Structure formats: structure tokens, C-alpha cells
Amino acid sequence: MIGVPVKDRGEDPLLEERFGRAEIFCLIADDGTRAFVDNQAPDSTSGAGVQTVQMLADRDVDTVLAPEIGPKAIAALEPLGIRVFPIGQARTLSEVLALFRENRLEERKGLSAPGGLRRA
Amino acid sequence: MAPSLTRETPVYTAFPVINEDLCTHCGKCARFCAFNALISTKRANVVMAELCHDCGGCALVCPSGAISYGRREIGRTGVSGVPGDPDFGDGILHTGEFSAEKIIEAVLEIPSDRPHRIIDAPPGCSCSAVQAAEGADFALIVTEPTPFALSDMKMVVEMLGNLKVPAGVFLNKAGENEGELLAYCESENLPLLEKLPLSRTYGKTIVEGGLLLREYPEAESLFRHLWQLIKGMGDK
């Protein structure tokens, strides 16, 4: 299952720049079936990214395509084995899925490198 | 004041440690945690130690007794002066940590037999400001005559009201545009205890690390008067 933060529930939604504070995620199953889910995390005062990771993991997401992901969410994604791909030049859902299927997105590796937040 | 500190007492906070042999991955801990410090999935658990507020709730809701707690150092407290009778105490939060409440708690618990203790609280009404002000006999609100400062001050007054800490006001950088602030103080029955005028030379002294009361006789008498007023109000 692929998870992508999006701005709307249209045919070809624009990609959302944020991860933890994204209000909608589009989940794409291996057979291409799409489903939209509400992300409850934007209302939390802290740890929105982590809560979003929990939500995606609960829905068996193993791949995330997203432009920006905060350090805490990144730290949470790696031990769960969820792969992260920045979106390249894509602006819409269909563009990013096309790039992903053509193997033209570069996986974000070395997620555990310490960022602004000291790791647990 | 430039106190010479010995800073050696560590301050710890806790974080959950999950025993994977006992964990059934039911997810109750993660759903309970208000700060998203735990992720629990069928595949794996992740503990975000930095997000834990040490409430102990996850161990309580865990049906299989799989959660215990580890501890980690988040900062240190320091004192200057005679051991057992310090004249100054402070705390530092290690870089990257964002919850100062336990440090403030530890600083407030530094033993002292002195009759009065002055607590320099963080500005505003964050959790750490509440922690510093709670239980005080009296609070001095240091403000200045700007709309921005007044807006913040109204929240501080509300916080002190909830904490039942009596308060007075010290007006810094006084001289202009005081009307709205004075009217507010009057409407809230907040006594204005002292004013320090806006002055470039005062500002320069402070930026250079000097103490106004050592360098300006008028400032010394002002602060002495202020302290007499505070003692009178705090001892009431």
C-alpha cells in the first residue's frame, strides 16, 4: 500500500507539501485501487507526524511518497520498515505515481541520520 | 549577576521500554498516549522517547504488563555559594530537549533556608511559566507600555488568577503610551509597584552585563523600594 498526502479528493489531486499536518491521505493498493482517508493528526499539538505514521502503519502502508517529512516522523518510519520517496518534480497524484512506477524517484536512505532532533 | 556555578546534579525523565516477549501488539498504549510517544503496529513498536511526558499511563493501560520505564538525562541544575545554603540556583535543559518542567521542578527543590526566594520565571504563560509561578507567595509582572506586551500580560494575569498567586506590576521602559496599560491595571486591581524609565544608558549597561542597581544610585533606591513593597505584599 502506498500513502500520499494530498490536498483534495478529486480525480487527480494536488500533492500536499506537509506530512503530519496533511488533512487527507490517498492510499493506493497494489491493484491500483484508491481510497482517501482523513488524517486526525493535524489537530494534535505535538507529534502530528508520529501520529500520522501510526495511522498509515495501521492501514498497512509500506511506501510513502511525500515532499517533506519532519524529523520525528522520519525517525518513526524507518523502524517500521516504511520506505520514503521524495516526489521529485511531481505536482499531482498521477504525476508522482507515474514517476514511482517508472522507478524515477530516489528512495530517501539513511533516515536515521541525526537531524535537529536527537534520536531516542 | 554572573554567579559562578557548579552544575553537577542531573535531572532525569522517563520513557517507556516495551518488553517484546510480553507485548501482544494490541496498540492500547499508542492509542492512550496523548503525546504520540508510542507507535504500536502488528509489525513493530516504536518509542519516541523525546515525546514522552512521563505520565505513566501506557504501563497502566497495557493488558500484558509489557511496559516498564527507562530514564534519561534531560538537563542539570546548578548552585553557587555555600553548599547547603546556596545564594543562586539555576537549571539548564540540554540542547534538543523541549520540556523544561522537570528542570524547573528540580531547581525549585534546591534546599535553602533563606527567608525569601526570587524565582525568575519564563515569559508568557507556557507550561514552564506555570511551573515556575505555582505556589509563589507573590508574582511580579514585568511589562512594558506596548500593545504587544499588554496582550501577553492579560494572559499572564489570567494564569496567575487561576494559580491564586497575588500579583503586582513593574513597568519597564516607561515613559510613553502608558494609558491603556494603566487603565487595565486599575480595572484588574493590579498595583503598579515601580517604573523604570526607558533609557539608552540603562540598556547599554544591561547589554554589557552590568547591574543597574550597582551603577545608578536612582536605580538602587528604586529596586530597594520595590523589594520593600514586594515583601509587604508577599508576607500578607
- Which bin fits B226, alpha (ψ -120 to 50), beta or left (φ > 0)? alpha
List of residues 6+ apart from A120 with CB closer than 8 A:
A75, B15, B47, B48, B49, B50
CATH code for the structural domain at B1-114: 3.30.70.20
ipTM confidence score:
0.74
Q: Report the alpha-carbon distance of residue B196 to residue A53 in Å, rounded.
A: 52
Average pLDDT over every residue of B3-13: 84
Q: Is the pLDDT of residue A106 over 50?
A: yes
CA neighbours closer than 13 Å in the CB half-sphere of residue B174: 14
The CA distances from residue A24 to A68, A99, B112, B147, B183, in Å, are 15, 21, 55, 39, 48
Q: Report the alpha-carbon distance of residue B225 to residue B227 in Å, rounded.
A: 5
Strand order, beta sheet including B167-174: B139-143, B167-174, B192-197
> In this complex, which of A41, A72, A116 lies closest to B48 when CB atoms are compared?
A72
Segment A25-72, tens digit of pLDDT? 999 999 999 999 999 877 777 788 999 999 999 999 999 999 988 888
Question: Is-contact B220 B213, C-beta < 8 A?
Answer: yes
Q: Is the pLDDT of residue A119 over 50?
A: no
- Which bin fits A110, alpha (ψ -120 to 50), beta or left (φ > 0)? left
Segment B183-232, tens digit of pLDDT? 999 999 999 999 999 999 999 999 998 999 889 999 999 999 999 999 98
Shortest Cα–Cα distance, B47 to chain A (Å): 8
Residue ranges of E strands in B160-212: 167-174, 192-197
Q: CB–CB of A47 and B35 under 8 A?
A: yes
The CA distances from residue A28 to A4, A87, B143, in Å, are 8, 15, 55
At B7 the pLDDT is 76
Shortest Cα–Cα distance, B132 to chain A (Å): 22
Q: Own/partner pairs for A11-15, CB < 8 Å, 24+ apart?
A: A12/A92, A12/A93, A12/A94, A13/A92, A13/A93, A14/A91, A14/A92, A14/A93, A15/A66, A15/A67, A15/A87, A15/A90, A15/A91, A15/A92, A15/A93, A15/A96
> In this complex, which of B40, B51, B97 lies closest to A47 when CB atoms are compared?
B51
Q: Checking DSSP bridges between strand A2-6 and strand A63-65, what pairing results, if any?
A: parallel
Instruction: For residue B151, give the nearest of B189, B184, B191, B128 by alpha carbon.
Output: B184
Q: Report the alpha-carbon distance of residue B234 to residue B137 in Å, rounded.
A: 5
Cell numbers that stand for B75 in this block: 538537563
Of chain B, the percentage scoring pLDDT greater than 90 comes to 73
CATH code for the structural domain at B115-234: 3.40.50.300
Task: Give the start-to-end residue ranges of the domains of chain B.
Answer: 1-114, 115-234
Q: Does A61 touch chain B (CB under 8 A)?
A: no
Average pLDDT over every residue of A80-94: 92
Question: Is-contact A40 A55, C-beta < 8 A?
Answer: yes
CB pairs under 8 A between A and B: 58
Shortest Cα–Cα distance, B23 to chain A (Å): 16
Q: Is the pLDDT of residue A117 over 50?
A: no
**All structural domains of chain A:** 2-101 (3.30.420.130)
Interface test with A, best of B39, B55, B95 (most A CBs within 10 A): B39
Q: Report the alpha-carbon distance of residue A67 to residue A95 in Å, rounded.
A: 13
Instruction: For residue A84, give the nearest of A103, A100, A101, A107 by alpha carbon.
Output: A107
Q: Report the alpha-carbon distance of residue B49 to residue B73 in Å, rounded.
A: 11
**Average pLDDT over chain A, rounded to an integer:** 87
